[in-house]
Amino acid sequence: MAVPKCKVSKQRRNKRFANWKIRPINLIECPQCHNLMKSHAVCKSCGYYNGVPVVHKEAKKD
């Protein structure tokens, strides 16, 4: 059975979890419609991925 050799203090224990931060989403500009989109994903506004139409979007009716 595994038994710790020395007591781990609260400070040392809490240091392990101190660097869990929320990072901002990496957004890039879509080459087709120039809106911001997540990298390596289909653009939500135009439906293009890597210059190829993947999702066919219908034109908005006014």
Three-state DSSP class for residue 34: coil
pLDDT in tens, 16-47: 888 888 888 899 999 999 999 999 999 999 99
Cβ-proximal residues to 27 (8 Å cutoff; 6+ apart), any chain = 36, 37, 38, 39
Flag whether 14 is in a domain.
Answer: no
Q: Please report, for residues 6, 23, 41, 46, 51, the alpha-carbon distance to residue 36 in angstroms, rounded to integers and kept in the order given.
A: 51, 17, 11, 11, 15
With cut-offs at 50, 70 and 90, classify the pLDDT of residue 57: confident
Residue 12: is its pLDDT beyond 90? yes
With cut-offs at 50, 70 and 90, classify the pLDDT of residue 8: very high
Higher pLDDT, 56 or 35: 35
The predicted structure's pLDDT at residue 29: 95
User: Which neighbouring-strand residues pair with 11?
Assistant: none
* Number of structural domains found in the chain: 1
Flag whether 61 is in a domain.
Answer: no
Owning domain of residue 36: 25-53
